[in-house]
Amino acid sequence: GQNIDQPTEMTATEGAIVQINCTYQTSGFNGLFWYQQHAGEAPTFLSYNVLDGLEEKGRFSSFLSRSKGYSYLLLKELQMKDSASYLCGVMDSNYQLIWGAGTKLIIKP
């Protein structure tokens, strides 16, 4: 079967760095997406990785290792507004997005 694993919840301090991991087992691979979802709001697109390596976009970076079935989202210089759930989604061979359950990130002052 297809499976995406993420930690359920993480806590970090304002100004610090946090890494949210995602491991996956899917039927084929056509890229991995990270989305941010604030409470009561719709998910918004953060990043897309299809090749191995690190993609940097401001304070957020996303890493992919296809051989290990592993990705992480790195958030630097954490701000209170980064408190949200972070969703990992993998596009399988049928171009369907398979979603993890999401990681709730709590930022403390």
Partner 1 sequence: GAGVSQSPSNKVTEKGKDVELRCDPISGHTALYWYRQSLGQGLEFLIYFQGNSAPDKSGLPSDRFSAERTGGSVSTLTIQRTQQEDSAVYLCASSLGQGPGDTQYFGPGTRLTVL
Interacting residues with partner 1 (CB under 8 A)? 30-31, 33, 41-45, 48, 50, 87, 89, 91, 94-97, 99-102, 104
Helix count and strand count (H, E) for the chain: 0, 11
In angstroms, give the least distance from the CB of 60 to partner 1: 15
Amino acid in the structure at residue 37? Q
In angstroms, give the least distance from the CB of 8 to partner 1: 9
Three-class secondary structure of residue 34 per DSSP: strand
Nearer Cβ to partner 1 (32/78): 32
Please tell me what DSSP assigns to residue 8: S
Nearer Cβ to partner 1 (42/80): 42
In angstroms, give the least distance from the CB of 87 to partner 1: 7
Which tokens is 46 given? Answer: 């953060």
In 3D space, the residue among 68, 36, 34, 63 whose CA is nearest the CA of residue 51 turns out to be 63
Nearer Cβ to partner 1 (5/61): 5
